[in-house]
Each structure stands twice: as structure tokens, then as C-alpha cells.
Structure 1
């Protein structure tokens, strides 16, 4: 090879090598730019979420207390006013604009999931301001008059460990009084504009107020933190004397008068204006309002009509299964007689509150021992069983759950209502514990709070359809866990599911199809063995919080369909433990987003 050819060959090789290096560099640079762009957008998103969470806590400081942010323990929400409502709406609008400015194409994984959730929630939050809910800011189920008393009892999220803790609640109480004054003003405006509570609901609020009107400070639930002082070695004797005097003045000079003022308004200024109708559709813009409530509570594109029909189908199916239990236990009468037997026979009922609490504490250990068969992820937080406080028991649900403190300083609480022992039959022991505690609410909510990678708005947020859908789905796992071997316990499972099925019919009946309170009560009497007192409380609950009760069965059905689809597609590859991990590990999600996530998980394995 002559020198010219050698030179050309070397030049060609060098050019080729140089060309390859340039292409590689360009590719590397391009990839680096993409990675940088993704990181930048991810950081913008994280900052947006942090700011939103902080700003939301500023608007609702009590929620800060519940998530363990003690710097908010002395603060209270701004009184209801045109200005405060405007500020809340502008808060939602501002963050909608910010999330829409994020480049979705540069997001992936959890960031993309959070983006979709946040965008959806801000749009729905803004939509809520089309309806004048501030004219009816409380009811017998939910309201600051009850939640503040629970907070101040010393048995909830508000800490009472130091002198500062006690001073914080005194200061917070001043905000509560101002807020309650604004509630009166807002409810008076509601009367003028045609937004008033049904008379039956107003009557249930009155005893919830009168219980806090006391002549002796020691008779108040707010005296609870004072009784705790005796066992507190962090506070000096002199400070204990001072705190006791301050709390007696707080109760008799501030809180009791505030409750008395509100009680007088409800009794003498509001009750006479209560409405005879009960449905949301009877209020201004009520039809659209109920459609919004369906969208908010189910996250699914469902109409009142199709929910109503689905509920009727489920009620009929479950009644047929109840008849099978009747035959299995050898009961000779018809189903109505069987219901009466279950309602009246002493063998099915506890004798006192202590028996109820002990039974649910005991079954907790049995259930926990069975969970590894179906789960691979478990919450670190524990829970305890408590009776619902007497001051709110008469109008409270049969059971409820309060999440633990994120820092582990307070366990979760499974509240069981012992106000009427006939409303707590023994045969619902297993199914109710599964629903409210593990692997239901306690399991799901605690895991959500403990996932480190979730932004705060997801860690402490939620969707009724996810939380309640999961808890009802969890009940359906009972037989897989080896529970419900006693036919009466299985009947309890059916009874609980029947309650959720009847809710679909009754809630839509009340708010979309003109049902009366009495009509709804009779429907539930005819289709269940529930105590009349329990049925009445349930119906009045649906009247007060339209759409919430729709979330249970619609959520359960959606999760069950996701599991069925995954089992069908994966066959022998399907692992129920991993399916449950996929459902739980990203916290509460709207059902359409969860469905897409589960399908992606399935696709990865095919």
C-alpha cells in the first residue's frame, strides 16, 4: 500500500472514529438534556405540591394538628365570610394554573401519577364553589361543634403534654368562638336564600349542643385535659393549679356560652325554618349538586339511575344468600321471621360496653395472625378499640376509624358505638373489625401515611371511593383468610354488605327520586335485620351527607373487577399478595387512575 493510500485509509478511519465519537457525544448530550429536563420538571412539581400542602394547612390549621404539625395547634380557620370563601376559591384556582403550567410529557412514575391526581382534584375543587354549601356548614354527622369537642377532650389529635399545649388550646378556642358566630350568620343567610337543613336533622343537632352547656366545669368534655394533669410529671404543681383555673374559666366563660348561644339560635331561630323535604334535589341547583356529589364520592362516570338499579340488584342477590344462611342454621320461619329472631334473641347481643370493646380487641389478634396469607406489606402503626364518646354517640355511625399520628405518637382508633347495644349484634364482630381495622381502614390509611415517596397531599389525602371501597373489598376477603366459619358470622358479613347495597338505593332515592325519610327507613326495615334505631341513624346520615354512601359498593365493585381482570389475564402468574401491594402502595387513588395503574402492572408481566 503506497503512502497516499495509507494516508487516505488513516484519514478515513480517523474520520469514522471521530464521527462515531461525535454521534455518541451528541446522543449522550441529548440524553443528559432529557434527564435534566425531567429532573427540573419533577423538582417544580415537588415544590408545587409542598406549597399547596402548606397553604392548605394555613387555611385549615386543625388539619395540621391531625398530621402532627404542632406549630398549628393554637390556630383556627378563618370565620365563614365572602372574603374567606373567595380566598379558598382563589387558592384552588392558583394551583390549577400552576399544575397546568407543568410539562406533563416530561413526567414519569410517581410524578405522573401525582400530576394526574392533583389536576383532577383542583378542577373538582373549583367546581364545588358552584354550590352554596357554606349555608349549611354542619349537621348531626359532621360539624365543627362535634369535632372541636372531640379535639378538646384530650383523647384526640390535640396534644396536652406541656404547659404550651394547654395554652395552645385556650388560644385555639378563641378562634372556635369566632367561627361559630360566623356559622350563625351564614345559616341565617341560608334561610333567606332557601338553603336550610331538614327539620329531622336540625332536631338531632340540639342534644349535641346542649351536652356542652354546663354549670360545673367538671361536667364538660373539655375538662378531660384537666383530669390528665394528675399523671403528668412534665408540668409543675404550680402550673397545674394555674392551668386548672384557666380551663375552668375557659369552659364556663367561653366554651359553654358559645354552645349556649348556638343552641339558642338553632332552637329559636333556625328550627322553625327547617324544611319538610330531605333530598338535595329540593334545594336551589340541587340536581346538579347531587350529580357533583356522585362524581366527587365515586370518582366514576355514574348516573343516579344506574346506581339505583345496581343497588336494587345487589339487595335482591344478598337477600337470596341470607335465605341460604337461614336454611343452614335450621330456622323454619320465613326471612322476615328470621330477621326478627336475629333482632330479639339475647344470644346475639352483648350485655355491656366492656364486653363489646373486649370482643373487638380479642378478634384483632386472630385477624392479624391470618393477614400474611394475603398480604406482603403491613402497616407499622397499631390501633386500639374504643367506645364512641357519650356526647356524640346518639347520632354517630355504628363504627368509625381515626388514623394514627404520622410520627407514631398516637395509634389508630377503631371506634365502636355502644350507645345502643341492640345496634351492635355479635354476628357482625368479624366483618366490622375487618372493615374498620385490618385489613380495612387501619391497614390502608396507615400504609398510605407511611409511604415515604408520596407527596404530602397524597399521604394525608384520600378518596371515599378508595377508602370505603377497599374496606368493603377487605370484608370480602374474610373467607380467603379463614374467617366466617360460623354461619352467623357469615350472615353478619352479608348484613354489612346488604347495608352498603341498600345505601345505593336509598341515597339515590332520597336525593334524586324524591323519596321521603319514612320511605327510606321502611325500605331498609324490609330488607335487613338492622335495628330500627340503627336504620334511622343511617337514613339521616344519607340525608345529611349526600353521595358519600355511594362510594362503598361502587369502590368495592371497581377493585374486585380489577382483580378479576388481572387474574384472567395473568392466569398462573397472578399473585394476590402482589395485587394487594399494587392497590395499596401508592395510597388512595381515583378509581379510573387506579384501574390504569393496575392494567400497566398486568401488562408488564405479560
Structure 2
């Protein structure tokens, strides 16, 4: 009897130990983990209301933090430090596979955000392409995620503008400090910033971007409400936006521009140094690749793609060299067939219809989020590139592919099939929509963005044009190659500027020798790389990794390989660092083999 009791007690202890080791208390841990993620997301929206507005969460539409204040930076640092500590306190053994990936992604995100505190980049808060004032200006138009549907919406914007002007003043003060410490934009970039503020300071009231919402009142507004808001917006533009813009123009011209340098690499222009560029490489590629490795990869890819371009040139019977063919394609009138802007939109709609049957062969489902093609708004289309604007999380706003059509008769379509694949379907619209619609992801991951994954996916699907029934015209296939070589050239030029001492002129010349885009566009691209080192690397690095994983899966699985299942695996978890994507695909390959 004693022996029986002893064995019973022993088995009870062993079962208890097994539960602890195997994680039978995981439901409680999972609940706590889920709450941690919910808290991280909610605190993040409070800390950065921009994210909330862009996601369609309108609770903070009257708020705009001073991102440059010491108080704000302290709160941001404390936020990421706190959650990094909380995450590290949770053993991986108590989390399931999905939760472990979420933990890894969030730790990576905390580390990369904390890493930014090692550099004084906030002493250069304004540039010609990436800075917060430009995003705020887009909101001002009333055509993006800042809503202007109710009187309260209009009032919220007036309050938000006041808060934004506090940030703008802090930006100018930081730039003054930057002058003293040597953190100043190159002169060529400052020259592009000045007109962006000049137009806001000189435009007539009715033409001022910040007056735009007044010209588009909802029909439901009463005449009294319209009159009150018109007066308030008139005062805002005349007494706040115009004076602040004039003051910035004066500062930029008289103080900031003379302090700038003629050099272009981030290490030469500022004290940020090579360490900052190495950090930017990690941030934007989500890899441990070095600048030298990326540069050599770029040279190799440019050579490979040039070889394919030569084959297309032979196919169409062009007898000149490749650079002459670039110019021929840029100016070929047959590739500029439109006389009305509506024809451009209809042409893109026709591309979508051609792809529809093939999409079902490559993807197991379609996004629920609605999709539209629109002309880029006239106020910004002269300087804008085609882009995708994500739909709202709740489905109230469709995903929109915007294409600028400033001069319709000059609209060259040779590279536009690949453009549609990239920016629209099945590029950013599929990738972003599936991520936002996946309710199994924690909220913060449904809006998370890593450029290597997001842009890598979009460039990867460009290579799928023939599988989707496109690129039947050799010029359209050449357009895809042109888009791809553009991203390969970026690997060479970005690292050339920031790690190998290239001049702006050397970078421009390399682009001219290898791309079918005009000189003005090339100059704009070079200035883009100067303003945000490393970002341009993300496209090709991400594309090559996804292609590598597809090749690995096909080779490993043979007849078991299902392209739809592969795409599901890539897309279902949304934006994640490439290392985690590779680990996920490797696990999927192993599990599929066992089936």
C-alpha cells in the first residue's frame, strides 16, 4: 500500500514538472503576452498619433506631438526600453511558434528604435523628401487619411495645425544647433526644400494647400457652419501657415544654405559618420550585410540585367548600343498613346482584368479591401511619383494606386505594367491588405512596415508578370528589366555615395550609363539617396531574398511545391525582418516534407 501511495505521489510530481517544462500553464502566459502586445500597441498610438490617423483610428486626430522635444524623446526611449525588458522576461519555451515570432519581431523593433538614439539625426529634421512637414502637408489637402467629413473633423485639424507649428519651430531651432555642430543638409538638398516652403508662403489664399478643405465642404454642412469654418481656416492660413512658411524660407536662404557643404556622402557631410550608415543598412535591409557586400552584389545584378536587356534589344531589331536603346524607348511615340487622362486610368483597369484569371492560380485568396486607380492630385503630381495609399483597417477607405499624369501626351507606358504590379496588384495592395486583414496578428503587426520585406515583395511580383499574363509586348518586358536594374543600380550608387567616397557627379554618370530614365529623374534619385541613406537598398535585397526562398522551396519540395501555399506563407505574417521570414519558410519546407 505504501508503495502504491509513493508511486502515486511520484507520478503527481512528475506530471507537475512536465506541465512546468512543457508549458501547460501557457494559456495564462499567452493571455499575459497578448495583453502586453495590446498595451504596446495602445501606448504606441498615444505616443505617435500619426500612426493612428493613418490606420483610420480617429481618436487622436487633433494631436501632433513635438517629436523633437527632449520630453518626447525621453518618453519614446522609456517606451521601447520598458517593452524590451518585459519581452526578455518571457521565456520562449512558454510561447507557441506564432507568439515566438511576434516576440522576435517586437524585440527587433525595440532594438532598431533604441539604436536611433545613438545618433543626432534630429539635428537634420527637414529634407526634400522624407521629413514630417511633407507628410503633414499631404494631410492638409484633405485627400488622404486625415478625415474632413464632419465639423469636428475640421476643428480637429485646426488644433492639430497649431501643434504642428510647434514642431516646425523646434525643427528650425534644431537646425540652428545643427549649423553650430556641423549637422547640415548638402546645399543641393536645401535648394530643393526652399520651394516647398515658398509655395506655402506665396500662394493666394484660395490656392494655398491648407485652405483646400474649405473648397470641399460636405453637403451636410449648414451655411452657418461653412461660414464659421471658412473664417477660421482663412485666419489659420493667413496668420499661421503663411508667416511660419515665410520665416522658414528666410532662415533656409540666409542661414542654412550657406552652412551646407558640397559633399554628398553622409559620413562626409555630417559628424554622423560611417557608423550611422551601417545602422541605416541594418534598419532598411534587416540583414547583417556590409556596404562592400551590397556594392558587389549590385555590380553583379546590373551586369546580369544588362545582358537580358541586350536580348530584348535584339528581339525588336534595334541596332544601336544599349544606351541608345534607352533613349529610343524613352522617346518612342508609340509608347505614349493617350490623349485623355481617363484613358490612362482605363488602361490600368484593363491590366487588372487581364491578370484576374492568373491571380487565382498564384494566390489562394484575394484581399477584402477595395481597390481603386486614381490620378495623383494636381497640386502634387508635377513632383510626385506613382504610389500606393493603403486602405483603412476597418475597410472604410480603399487601397488606392495613385499615378501622376501632368502631361497626358507624354505618359510613356513602357514600364507601366511592372509599375502596376509593384504599386498595386499583387504588390503593395496584396501585401498591405492581407497584413491589415489578418486578425490573428496582434494589432501592432497589422500596420508594421519593414522596407526590405514590403518593397522586396513589390519588386518580387514585378518578376511574375509573364505568369500573370503580362509582358507580351517586348517593350513591357524591357520596362520590367528597367525597373529591376534601377533597383540594382541603387545598391551600387547608395553604397558608392555613403561608403566609397563617390561624388554626386560620379553617381549620376553611373545611372546614365545603366538606366533608361531621364537626367532630371536621375538627379532627383541621387538626392533621395543623399537624404535617407540606406533606404534605397531595401528593394533589391528583399526581392532577392524572396526569390531565393522560392527557389529553395521548389528545389526541396519538388512535386509537393505549391506556389499558392508559398505565397500564403510569405504574406500571412505581414512585414517581418528577412531573417525571420527565412526561418519561417525553412520550417514550412520541413513540415511539408513530412506530410
TM-score range, shorter chain: over 0.9
Tell me by how many angstroms 1:521 deviates.
Answer: 1.1
Cα 1:400–1:271 change in 2 (3 A) is: same
Q: CA deviation at 1:392?
A: 3.9
For 1:14-163, list aligned pairs within 5 A.
35=23, 37-78=25-66, 80-163=68-151
Write the deviation string for residues 246-276 of structure 1: whole angstroms up to 9, x where unpaired. 1122222222222222222212221111111
> Who is 2:257 aligned against?
271
| Match of residue 267 from structure 2 | 281
Q: 2:224 aligns with which of 209, 231, 238?
A: 238
Quickly say closer, same or farther: Cα 1:585–1:423, change in 2 above 3 A. Answer: farther
What SS class does the counterpart of residue 415 from structure 1 fall into?
Answer: strand
Q: Is the Cα–Cα contact under 8 Å of residues 120 and 272 in structure 2 kept in the other structure?
A: no
Of 335, 347, 351, the residue aligned with 1:348 is 335
Q: Secondary structure of the equivalent of 2:287?
A: coil
> How many angstroms does 1:403 deviate by?
0.9
Relative distance call for 1:336 and 1:418 in structure 2 (3 A) is same
- With structure 1 as the length reference, what TM-score do the two structures score? 0.93
Distance 2:535 2:110 in 1: 19
- 1:515-594 map, 5 Å: 515-594=502-581
> Contact (CA 8 Å) 1:161, 1:232: kept in 2 or not?
no
Instruction: Say whether 1:251 aligns with 2:251.
Output: no
Deviations 1:403-455 (A, max 9, x none): 11111111112122334769852111210000001111111011101100111
Paired residues of 2:355 and 2:469 also in contact (CA < 8 A): no
User: Is 1:486 matched with 2:467?
Assistant: no
Q: Residues 213 and 259 of structure 1 are in contact (CA less than 8 Å); yes or no, is this contact kept in structure 2?
A: yes
Q: Which moved more, 1:308-317 or 1:530-539?
A: 530-539
* Equivalent residue number for residue 7 of structure 1: none
Aligned residues: 590
Q: Deviations over 1:545-596 (max 9, x none)?
A: 1101111111111111111111111110000000000000011111111111
Q: 1:585 to 1:332 in 2, by over 3 A?
A: same
**Partners of 1:356 and 1:273 in 2: CA distance:** 44
For residue 200 of structure 2, give the secondary structure of its aligned residue in structure 1.
coil
Shift of 1:37: 2.6
1:467 lines up with 2:450 in the alignment: no
Change (3 A) 1:89 1:531: same
Q: Give the stretch that moved more between structures: 29-38 or 158-167.
A: 29-38
TM-score by length of 2: 0.94
Instruction: Give me the whole-angstrom Cα distance separating, in 2, the residues matched to 1:423 and 1:111.
Output: 51
Rounded to whole Å, the distance in 1 between the matches of 2:513 and 2:410 is 16
**Residues 420 and 143 (structure 1 numbering): CA distance in 2 closer, same or farther, change over 3 Å?**
farther
- Give, in whole Å, the separation in 2 of the partners of 1:257 and 1:361: 44
Residue in 2 aligned with 1:184?
Answer: 172
Q: What 5-or-longer segments of structure 1 have no aligned partner?
A: 1-10
Q: Distance in 2 between matches of 1:419 and 1:269?
A: 34
Q: Distance in 1 between matches of 2:464 and 2:110?
A: 34
Query: How far apart, in 1, do the equivalents of 2:188 and 2:341 lie?
Result: 28
**Distance change (3 Å), C-alpha of 1:171 and 1:25:** same
- Structure 1 counterpart of 2:317: 330
Give a deviation string over 1:316-352, Cα, whole Å, max 9, x none. Answer: 1111111111111111222222122112222223556
Q: Within the alignment, does 1:402 sit opposite 2:389 as a pair?
A: yes
